[in-house]
Chains A and B, each alone.
Chain A
């Protein structure tokens, strides 16, 4: 038996090209995995489209308060959709992979941990962009909404930023909640917060006390940034909403880091 030759291989170095290749494949398969998982992809893409058809496209005119509903709700449901993709794709998905033991197999491999997080984030962004594209197509073709190229580009940009921001919340949820309760808990956070942040109807229509709570909600800030493109934002400056969104992301990432480190110490 030739055992002497096996103990010392020449060291394998991780070149930049190979690192990029790992990130690319990890992302590709994360996206394929989500796309083929119909309970995820149909729900996450289907619900915003269905709601937009029911409440947005059917309200083509401008109402008494000067709000063109199809236009307002394009912004609202774009946020609703991309946040759903981030919370369910990462929050529920990662919690499941952690509980099944799959995350441990990945951690035992030489996979760079950042590749895993990057792929999860890119998956959320990709689904966010798919949803925004589908909603925009419906708005333009059926909702009587007209968008300039600049508005469209801004929408995509904010969609990417929003996906990253809520991906951080997905990571924290995945670390905190048990996998079998994850879909329920995420819905309990996601649905009421969407309503209270004015994603389903103009926030001006909500009771005043709810409007006063809204600035405490991260979805409100994302919605305001998005609606600013269409001229439907509140009177507060858009900078304050960017700050709110950035602050929220920092808090989520910081807390995730603390929770993760504590879990590592106890492991």
Chain B
């Protein structure tokens, strides 16, 4: 496991012990949301504490955007309660303290970036200065461009900038990096970290699993409107099937399957793939039994695998 990941995880642990006791600033309590026959959310409980970055992770149609729209007061729950800063999310008082970056196909294209920011800033009593928004959202050099002339990444950054106009305490980011290339995505990650460092609470939805792993203190995995799993990125990963050993060997699948601690064995082309929580012991045994063993690789499962294991088994 890379050293940076280890460092980040210890930081996360320190963080969770600090905030565990603190008050909840936004919550869905036993929320069910139905559209006709379709159940978008089914008895969902979600609580956000000050200063944490929470990722809602799930496949398309899992109910991520529904959860965000409930917390923004754009829709009302069929049953249960949505509360933000102890009040109704629909009230203007609540909305003054919340910023939102939603999935938008297009925004009015014949206005300049500066004009969009100017308009949104006017909604707040104490908006962030334009220069500050431009700096955080990395909009330097495009302030005077028409929205229609911007690249996809720049457009997303404008939407991010609009979410920051009121210097909100709570920020919702619904699939913020969808459609971005790798470089632009990493740029936005940096900006989201900047927000977290300013003490903002962030709820982020994503189906980029790497994104949740890179940004969140806590990941909530949802599928079909229900929470499937919840924890730190490390905890989410440990729920999955241990580590993955890949190599070329003369040992048979039957023999490998019988080794203690082996969860599964698969033939993959010339290679064999062994899943086990006790990788060291299994590899030691395999090397003893087969001197010709070659091409050995041991990998931690990506969050992706953990996620697939979690969402497909139910």
A14 close to B92 (CB less than 8 A): yes
B118 close to A25 (CB less than 8 A): yes
A1-14 vs B, Cβ < 8 Å mask (1 yes, 0 no): 11111110101111
Complex-state Cα separation, A37 to B100, whole angstroms: 27
List the B side residues contacting A109 at CB < 8 Å: 95, 100, 120, 123, 162, 166
Complex-state Cα separation, A59 to B185, whole angstroms: 63
B92 close to A112 (CB less than 8 A): yes
Complex-state Cα separation, A110 to B94, whole angstroms: 8
Chain B residues 139 to 156 lying within 8 A of chain A, measured CB to CB, are 146
A12 close to B110 (CB less than 8 A): no
A3 close to B118 (CB less than 8 A): no
User: How many of B's residues come within 8 Å of A, CB to CB?
Assistant: 50
**Which of A6, A14, A25, A36 is B51 in contact with, Cβ under 8 Å?**
A6
B72 close to A108 (CB less than 8 A): yes
B118 close to A7 (CB less than 8 A): no
A12 close to B96 (CB less than 8 A): yes
Complex-state Cα separation, A240 to B72, whole angstroms: 47
A100 close to B104 (CB less than 8 A): yes
A101 close to B105 (CB less than 8 A): yes
B108 close to A108 (CB less than 8 A): no
Q: Give the contact stretch, choosing among B19-27, B55-63, B288-296.
A: B19-27
A100 close to B107 (CB less than 8 A): yes
Chain A residues 1 to 50 lying within 8 A of chain B, measured CB to CB, are 1-7, 9, 11-14, 18, 21-22, 25-26, 29, 32-33, 36-37
List the A side residues contacting B122 at CB < 8 Å: 18, 21-22, 25
With a 10 A CB-CB cut-off, give which of A1, A100, A267 has the most chain B CB atoms.
A1
Residues A267 and B110 in contact in the complex (CB < 8 Å), given A1-B199, A6-B50, A7-B25: no
Complex-state Cα separation, A243 to B23, whole angstroms: 58
Distance in angstroms from A141 CB to nearest chain B CB is 31
List the B side residues contacting A4 at CB < 8 Å: 22, 50
Chain A interface size band reads: 35 or more
B92 close to A108 (CB less than 8 A): no
Distance in angstroms from B108 CB to nearest chain A CB is 5
Q: What is the chain B residue whose CB lies nearest that of A22?
A: B122
Residues A105 and B107 in contact in the complex (CB < 8 Å), given A18-B125, A22-B123, A111-B123: yes
B169 close to A6 (CB less than 8 A): yes
List the B side residues contacting A22 at CB < 8 Å: 122-123
A29 close to B119 (CB less than 8 A): yes
B120 close to A29 (CB less than 8 A): no
List the B side residues contacting A26 at CB < 8 Å: 119
B98-109 vs A, Cβ < 8 Å mask (1 yes, 0 no): 101011111111
Distance in angstroms from B179 CB to nearest chain A CB is 14
Distance in angstroms from A23 CB to nearest chain B CB is 10
Residues A7 and B123 in contact in the complex (CB < 8 Å), given A105-B162, A267-B75: no
Q: Tell me, yes or no, whether A104 is within 8 Å of chain B by CB.
A: yes
List the B side residues contacting A2 at CB < 8 Å: 199
Residues A32 and B111 in contact in the complex (CB < 8 Å), given A100-B106, A109-B123: yes
Complex-state Cα separation, A2 to B166, whole angstroms: 20
Complex-state Cα separation, A7 to B50, whole angstroms: 7
List the B side residues contacting A97 at CB < 8 Å: 108
CB pairs A–B below 8 angstroms (5 shown): A25-B122, A33-B111, A100-B106, A100-B107, A110-B123
Q: Which 8 A-B pairs have the closest CB atoms?
A: A36-B110, A12-B125, A3-B51, A101-B104, A110-B95, A3-B50, A108-B100, A100-B105
